[in-house]
Structure 1
């Protein structure tokens, strides 16, 4: 056996050993295991991001309409990063960037819903010049993002432990919008968050832009009424 072949075999074995160690914890320290797991999640997030930006109908549709609105979104504007476990993504108006929380996704479909949610925020910021310190503005974008992204589909709600057979979608959108507005530093209390959502509910829940010209989403929107 040549030295080149032996070196290749050793390298292959080392990669296998590390992969096995990351999954089981055998042969490596806990710190190495966690670092390896985070690196794996980062690679998976980047892979899914690339696939979604090229092949997801809803993501491609949002990217198209962002570009038409004067905001061209590139892969550099969507960043995979470790985050705390309280959220799966976020939009930074100051940076013009979306953060995908790589440790939080349980499937590519989950990441797709999250990405569409954040792209709706980016679209609102680009097209309507949202003032994120204005709680009514924030509430409107949260209502739209939760309603249009798939975040409130029945299976997602079931996974969260919420089961309803009457107006489940509306209840989810309202609940999640209130929680998001409550987290705004400009919001003093729960009652203020709820009031902001209630004040803009009807107009913002029925606003499906830019999906209002998409036949599939038009049908979906009509089914909610």
Structure 2
């Protein structure tokens, strides 16, 4: 019997090293063994969301431009300001004005282009909040930012509209921006009904649709 001291008490297995722990976790995620289904899905969704976010922050001209404009407006946007998180299936993202963050809804994107449009849309809201001191309880303010974000983000491209089941050969972009702005304003707690949302969007439409700041033209 060896007289050399042992760092592992008799009867105890040696602790797995970090490489083994990482491999076991990866194996579990790939096979589903030893991990709850919901945890597996959330982890895979988050990984994809974080990878796409990193790529878009580095290589998307529109996202890079918006981050730069936010910096000029006094907002130093970092990846931590765009957290990936599970959401209900009805949304792809949102701007949390109280904490100055853009929420990215992991697992709710059809593709990376969809996520890019969402990021630009919410970054426009962040820009408006910083630059114009938007009061989100003021329906006119909310409507104006929704019009601008919908118009400038790529949300209303012909391809996106076809995917939603809307087909129009005349004023497609404007119709999409107006429809989606009304829908968003209508769920504002300060909005009493759909008719009010429609009226407010119509009241601010011309000035807000034509305001493409910080872009020179519609993206």
Distance 2:97 2:20 in 1: 49
Please point out which of 63, 78, 84 is paired with 1:74: 78
Per-residue Cα deviation, 1:74-93 (whole angstroms, up to 9, x for no partner): 11111100001111000011
Distance 1:126 1:15 in 2: 41
Please point out which of 139, 142, 159 is paired with 1:138: 142
Question: Which one has a larger percent helix, Structure 1 or Structure 2?
Answer: 1
Shift of 1:17: 5.8
Distance 2:203 2:116 in 1: 29
Q: Which residue of 2 aligns with 1:20?
A: 31
Change in 2 beyond 3 A, CA 1:145/1:14 = closer
Distance 1:82 1:17 in 2: 20
Q: Which residue of 1 aligns with 2:152?
A: 148
| Greater gyration radius | 2
Distance 2:188 2:168 in 1: 28
Q: Which residue of 2 aligns with 1:45?
A: 49
TM (normalized to structure 1)?
Answer: 0.84
Q: How many residues align?
A: 201
* Structure 1 ranges of 4+ moved more than 2 A: 8-18
TM (normalized to structure 2)?
Answer: 0.86
Q: Which residue of 2 aligns with 1:34?
A: 38
Provide the secondary structure at the position in 2 that maps to 1:98.
strand
Q: Which residue of 1 aligns with 2:93?
A: 89
Q: CA RMSD in A?
A: 1.9
In structure 1, the gaps of 5 or more residues are 1-7, 22-26, 213-217
In structure 2, the gaps of 5 or more residues are 1-18
Shift of 1:54: 1.0
1:110 aligns with 2:121: no
Shift of 1:33: 2.1
